[in-house]
Amino acid sequence: MNADSVTIPQVTPATDAEEERFESFADRLLRPDRERDAWSEDGRRLATGLGLAATFGATLGLRSGGAALLMHAAGVTAGVLTVPAVAVPAFAIVLALADVPVDAQALGRATSRAVAKAGLVLAGLAPAAALYVVTVEDAITVTCVGFGALVLAGALAARSFDMDLRGPLAAAPARAQTVMVVAMPAFLAFTATLALRVWWLTLPILAAGTR
Amino acid sequence: MTALLDVSLMSRILRSPGEVAADCRDDRGTSGIARSALLVILLGSVLFGAAVGSWHGGAQIFYGGAKLPVVTIGTLVLCAPAFYAVSAVFDRPWPARSVLALMLVAGARFSLVLLAATPAIWLTINLGASYDASKLTAALGYALAGFAALSLLVRGLGDGPGKHATLALFIGIFLLVGAQTSWMLRPYLGTPGQKEIVLFTREREGGLVYQLSKSLGNVAGCSRPAASR
């Protein structure tokens, strides 16, 4: 009783007095314009995003349990990792060949932010996915839920990547912007196909509903 | 009870949802808001669940009253991380504390509307409504409460880019989770034609959407006669 009467009045003035904005985990993870932002910062962001994606993978593995948890965690992470490891370097080469003025740092930051956003969305959806994975009787529903979450996270990551690269390209010559009109959708379509193929090969739960 | 339940806050949730949502977003007095909101969620869900359970009567009243708070709070708990992540991705990286407070306040508005719908549900059942009509009336009450909660969330998201996408995604996730949670813990009214009252049904019944469309068909009179109690 006493504890309540002492604690409650203290909470409101303290938060009111603190005019400075509280920095949430998501804010720290995604904010792009920080002084410390460098390759190490992008690497940290990328690793966090992959770790968050792994939690969603482990959730998918809950249906079978045991080693499936690790297998699905690795599978989801592999699909996400394929993009920065394979697709983005290829995209960087194409951009360099076309002389599009996007530096490696901007590309790295856009990639790490896209992966972090995908990881954040997948981790956020993990509890809801766990409900379906554990309680639904038919496999097709679980396949749809797992596939839907991966596609949603991928779409949001693609949107982030596209928007982050629009800034550096705003002042670019008209020719570079024309190249990007073709190159960006082609890259995003390629990335989506690549990630989906990796997930299809590495996640048994996705194929289970179609058999 | 009055110390736990802030009545003026309930009035603000109903009359000025935008103000309460802004308080949650800016982390102003969120612990008090959360405490009162949780209590209202419990109260509204228990009474609505009990009213729905009165269709069968007996122990079903207690089962309904016990299960509906689990559905409501369970859905909020499972959706909170998704709401946090989706809002962060669309340039609203709020602290988890603000997101939780916002969800609880939306849940409180939902439960206040359920509370208002409870006498109407009970009266409908008491006047001898069929199983299907009772089920649809309860679903209507739930839908109205959902719209009331949604309007608070719309205000809570504020203006800015990605508002509609955030909202659409959140509605989708909430509907999916809410449907599965409530489906898992059925029955709430009782099982038609079954004298025995059970806590959970474990029969294959085709899913929530199928059941609602079947009830619509039955109420419209194009299928089979209404089920007896």
Cα–Cα dist B121/B138, whole Å: 7
The pTM of this model reads 0.84
Q: Which of residues 5-64 of A touch B (CB under 8 A)?
A: 8, 11-12, 15-16, 22, 24-27, 30-31
Q: Hey, which of A25-34, B130-139, B217-226 has the most confident mean pLDDT? A: B130-139
Percent of chain A with pLDDT over 70: 85
If one counts the domains in chain A, the total is 1
Tell me if A97 is assigned to some domain: yes
Which residues have CB under 8 Å from B127's CB, separation 6+?
Answer: none
Residue with tokens 């049904």: B201
Task: At B68, list the tokens.
Answer: 């509906």
Question: Which tens digit of pLDDT belongs to each residue from B14-47?
Answer: 999 999 999 998 888 888 899 999 999 999 999 9
Cα–Cα dist B112/A33, whole Å: 43
Tell me if A28 is assigned to some domain: yes
Tell me the nearest-neighbour CA distance from B221 into chain A, angstroms: 31
Tell me if A47 is assigned to some domain: yes
B210 pLDDT more than 80: no
pLDDT recorded at residue B30:
87
Tell me if A3 is assigned to some domain: no
A157: closest chain B residue by CA: B89
Residue with tokens 């972090």: A116
pLDDT recorded at residue B206:
58
What is the sign of the dihedral through the CA atoms of A153, A155, A158 and A164? negative
Question: Which tens digit of pLDDT belongs to each residue from B140-155?
Answer: 998 999 999 999 998 8
Closest partner residue to A124 (CB to CB) among B28, B30, B86 is B86
Tell me if A198 is assigned to some domain: yes
pLDDT recorded at residue B79:
95
Q: Is the peptide bond before A101 cis (omega within 30 degrees of 0)?
A: no
Count of Cβ atoms closer than 10 Å to residue B204 Cβ: 8
A144: closest chain B residue by CA: B176
Tell me if A199 is assigned to some domain: yes
Cβ contact, residue pair A25, B96, below 8 Å? yes
Q: Given the cut 0.85, state whether the ipTM is greater than it.
A: no
Establish if B70 touches chain A: CB-CB under 8 angstroms: no
Cβ contact, residue pair B93, A27, below 8 Å? yes
Q: What mean pLDDT is predicted for residues B71-85?
A: 94
Amino acid at the residue A91: F
Cα–Cα dist A150/A195, whole Å: 9
Helix (H, G, I), strand (E, B) or coil at B3: coil
Question: Which tens digit of pLDDT belongs to each residue from A47-90?
Answer: 999 999 999 999 999 988 889 999 999 999 999 999 999 999 99
Task: At B48, list the tokens.
Answer: 């609505």
Tell me the nearest-neighbour CA distance from A7 into chain B, angstroms: 10
Q: Are A34 and A41 in contact (CB under 8 A)?
A: yes
Tell me if A1 is assigned to some domain: no
Tell me if A4 is assigned to some domain: no
Q: Are A203 and A62 in contact (CB under 8 A)?
A: no
Which residues have CB under 8 Å from B125's CB, separation 6+?
Answer: B51, B52, B54, B55, B134
A137: closest chain B residue by CA: B204
pLDDT recorded at residue A124:
96
Q: Cα–Cα distances in Å, from A121 out to A51, A169, B86, B153?
A: 12, 27, 6, 19
Cβ contact, residue pair A24, B88, below 8 Å? yes
Mean pLDDT of chain B: 86
B130 pLDDT more than 50: yes
Rg (CA), chain B: 18
Residue B99 confidence class, pLDDT cut points 50, 70, 90: very high
- Name the CA dihedral angle for B210, B211, B216, B217, rounded to a multiple of 10 degrees: 70
Establish if B154 touches chain A: CB-CB under 8 angstroms: no
Task: At A69, list the tokens.
Answer: 């948890």
pLDDT recorded at residue A30:
86
pLDDT recorded at residue B196:
78
Start-to-end C-alpha separation, chain A: 60
Cβ contact, residue pair A123, B27, below 8 Å? no
User: Which domain, by its residues, includes A95?
Assistant: 14-210
